Amino acid sequence: MDLERLLTDRLAPAFATVAGGPVDPLVRRSPRADFQSDAALALARRLGRPPRDIAAEVLAHAALDDVCAMAEVSGPGFLNLTVADRTLTDLVSELARDDRLGVPPTAAPETVVVDYSGPNVAKEMHVGHLRSTVIGDAAARLLEWLGHRVVRVNHLGDWGTPFGMLIEHLVALGEAEGADEFSMGDLGSFYREARAKFDTDEAFRERSRRRVVALQGGDERTRRLWRLLVEQSERYFLAVYDLLDVTLTGDDFQGESVYHDRLGAVVDDLDRLGLLVDSDGAACVFPPGFTGRDGEPLPLIVRKRDGGYGYPATDLAALRHRIDELGATRLLYVVGLPQRQHLAMVFATAATAGWLCPPARAEHLGFGSILGADGRMLRSRTGESVKLVGLLEEAVARATELARTKNPDWDDRTTAETGRAVGIGAIKYADLATDRAQDYVLDWERMLSLDGNTAPYLQYAYSRIQSVFRRAGAAARPDAPVILTGPAERALAIELLGFAAVVAEVEWSLEFHRLAGYLHRLATSFSAFYERCPVLRAPDELRQSRLLLAELTARTLRQGLHLLGIRTVRRM
């Protein structure tokens, strides 16, 4: 049981008595006591009574004696709550015996589709895909750990008009040679060459158009060439996922092409529902509530004038597939904020059509951009968007160099493994530790720093605890009595007991900076504890208790980082 929950459960009935109905006590950590409850203020306004009176009356009704050492009204009408040491030691002991660190599996498991990564065939993955991949993977890991059935969907851009020109380019190069050129790391140049020919060569353009028709018509050779492009790209993306340490596998590719045969039904069904409007030959839906700058209603184009279907129709088909066939009730879309309107219109259309209705719901987990040191969109020197792989390799190289300098006696393998865990961890953490709706600046110095809210800081805290255990020569005893001798130990105990509340919050908000912030606070509390409370030199009982606190900190850091997709290392 976490402390917020415990105090909330104790205060809620008292508030209900005073208010004559349910009131959330709004318990939170407080700089003045351990916790505070602010709910008396709003309640006082509602009841037209002085807030301090309300707070005092709530206190009189609340059964807090066995859990709080002190409970008092303060300021304009806050309740300040100081938890009894006995309560803390009991709960920490309970935590030590629980291999889920106080986090229960969900009582209401559901099927959740996490749509993330979604790179495009024959194109480099760029930093926008990095954010989607990192955030989506954290969502998948966390929800799975809570006991939900998670279906990872990698909505690969593997269909549409560009494939005409890409296949023609492959044919022009000769299949074998073309496939060679189109291998690791050359995706970008292959695409650019094809594009250049398409833009300048009329005959090539015409061949490309015919090729699209052949592809959609299922022409065998064309399909084979297309598969070649898709497979090479998938192989490349999987290599990136491996480097990035994300849980996406080859089985999770559910490209746009998968829905090709269902697009007709989407349009027919919308038509039957009377939702289709012809606009200049294009079949459109006008979901309510979307207008352009001029106040005109905005169309969602489901079939283009040339008869082709596009991105919106595909997303509608995918949504139906996820609900009807995969049985999902929670649909997550981890996609950049520029696609906010597109997704909102898809969701609104699906809701109007009756395809998306409770208990099923769709959420767009949007995110901002990664900026360069100049505060502008991250670009390479030549002005193109930065390749993801280059970025990851640089992170690993920098972290490996740091590891080598710090530990010159290590063998190459240990140095490389540590460099990889720290470098990749640093990149992922920098992404997850900021509010995802915000842009953030990619700052190597800061994200690799051993101080501050960074992965290396947390990994270092973890490795420091491992070294304590190496020196102790024994593990902590889970049944060792917990002894709290001073404020640093108390503060650490309170942080340890806060893990469950954070995880429970992030299950719904999927705001991973809250989990990151928690882990950072925990590591900081541990540092303060470790500075003031000797562990190995303490007398036996106290030493056991402190080893237990250290071990719980390590387990929590490890589990928390694991949920974020970040590895811990035993030495740093």
**Smallest distance, ligand ARG to C-beta of residue 90, A:** 47
If the CB atoms of residues 155 and 207 are measured against ligand ARG, the closer one turns out to be: 155
**Smallest distance, ligand ARG to C-beta of residue 128, A:** 7
Q: What is the DSSP letter of 362?
A: E
Element (H, E) at 361: strand 361-365
Query: Which of 57, 115, 489, 551 is the binder for ligand ARG (CB under 6 A)?
Result: 115
**Smallest distance, ligand ARG to C-beta of residue 196, A:** 21
Decide: helix, strand or coil at residue 326.
coil
| 425 near ligand ARG, judged by CB under 6 A | no
Task: Specify the stretch interacting with ligand ARG by CB under 6 A; choose among 112-120, 191-199, 258-266, 411-419.
Answer: 112-120
If the CB atoms of residues 96 and 335 are measured against ligand ARG, the closer one turns out to be: 335
What is the Cα–Cα distance from 273 to 262, expressed in whole angstroms?
17
CA of residue 214 relative to chain centroid, distance:
40
The one-letter amino acid at 126: H
| 310 near ligand ARG, judged by CB under 6 A | no
Query: 499: Cβ–Cβ under 8 A, 6 or more apart, which residues?
Result: 2, 101, 102, 103, 518, 522, 556, 559, 560
Query: 455: Cβ–Cβ under 8 A, 6 or more apart, which residues?
Result: 422, 425, 426, 428, 429, 430, 447, 561, 566
| 157 near ligand ARG, judged by CB under 6 A | yes
**Smallest distance, ligand ARG to C-beta of residue 336, A:** 7
What is the Cα–Cα distance from 466 to 266, expressed in whole angstroms?
56
User: What residues are paired with 291 via a beta bridge?
Assistant: 297
What is the Cα–Cα distance from 128 to 135, expressed in whole angstroms?
11
User: What residues are paired with 330 via a beta bridge?
Assistant: 112, 361
Element (H, E) at 371: strand 370-371
If the CB atoms of residues 263 and 515 are measured against ligand ARG, the closer one turns out to be: 263
If the CB atoms of residues 364 and 558 are measured against ligand ARG, the closer one turns out to be: 364
| 155 near ligand ARG, judged by CB under 6 A | yes
The values of phi and psi at residue 505, to 5°, are -70, -45
If the CB atoms of residues 336 and 517 are measured against ligand ARG, the closer one turns out to be: 336
| 120 near ligand ARG, judged by CB under 6 A | yes
Site string for ligand ARG, 318-337 (x = CB under 6 A): x--------------x-x--
User: What residues are paired with 283 via a beta bridge?
Assistant: 278, 303
What is the Cα–Cα distance from 125 to 152, expressed in whole angstroms?
18
**Smallest distance, ligand ARG to C-beta of residue 369, A:** 13
Is there a contact between 534 and 543 (Cβ–Cβ < 8 Å)? no
Point out the residue whose Cβ comes nearest to ligand ARG.
118
| 315 near ligand ARG, judged by CB under 6 A | yes
User: What residues are paired with 370 via a beta bridge?
Assistant: 440
What is the Cα–Cα distance from 527 to 525, expressed in whole angstroms?
5
Going by C-alpha positions, the residue among 411, 446, 402, 406 that lies closest to residue 426 is: 446
Instruction: Give the residue ranges of DSSP H helices in 385-511.
Output: 388-406, 412-432, 444-447, 455-472, 487-496, 499-509
CA of residue 315 relative to chain centroid, distance:
21
If the CB atoms of residues 41 and 114 are measured against ligand ARG, the closer one turns out to be: 114
If the CB atoms of residues 156 and 399 are measured against ligand ARG, the closer one turns out to be: 156
| 252 near ligand ARG, judged by CB under 6 A | no
If the CB atoms of residues 116 and 429 are measured against ligand ARG, the closer one turns out to be: 116
Is there a contact between 311 and 346 (Cβ–Cβ < 8 Å)? no
Is there a contact between 514 and 502 (Cβ–Cβ < 8 Å)? yes
If the CB atoms of residues 120 and 545 are measured against ligand ARG, the closer one turns out to be: 120
If the CB atoms of residues 89 and 314 are measured against ligand ARG, the closer one turns out to be: 314
| 567 near ligand ARG, judged by CB under 6 A | no
Task: Specify the stretch interacting with ligand ARG by CB under 6 A; choose among 115-123, 243-251, 320-328, 390-398.
Answer: 115-123
| 233 near ligand ARG, judged by CB under 6 A | no
- The burial of 111, by beta-carbon neighbours within 10 Å (0-12 exposed, 13-18 middle, 19 or more buried), is given as middle
**Smallest distance, ligand ARG to C-beta of residue 222, A:** 22
**Smallest distance, ligand ARG to C-beta of residue 335, A:** 4
**Smallest distance, ligand ARG to C-beta of residue 117, A:** 8
Task: Specify the stretch interacting with ligand ARG by CB under 6 A; choose among 6-14, 114-122, 288-296, 552-560.
Answer: 114-122
Site string for ligand ARG, 335-354 (x = CB under 6 A): x-------------------
Question: Hey, which residues between 16 and 55 contact ligand ARG (CB under 6 A)?
Answer: none
**Smallest distance, ligand ARG to C-beta of residue 210, A:** 25
If the CB atoms of residues 132 and 400 are measured against ligand ARG, the closer one turns out to be: 132
Is there a contact between 450 and 459 (Cβ–Cβ < 8 Å)? no
Give the binding-site size for ligand ARG (rule: CB under 6 A).
Answer: 9
The values of phi and psi at residue 282, to 5°, are -95, 145
**Smallest distance, ligand ARG to C-beta of residue 314, A:** 8
Handedness of CA 264, 321, 251, 566 (dihedral sign): positive
**Smallest distance, ligand ARG to C-beta of residue 340, A:** 12
Q: Give the residues lining the site for ligand ARG (CB under 6 A).
A: 115, 118, 120, 155, 157, 315, 318, 333, 335
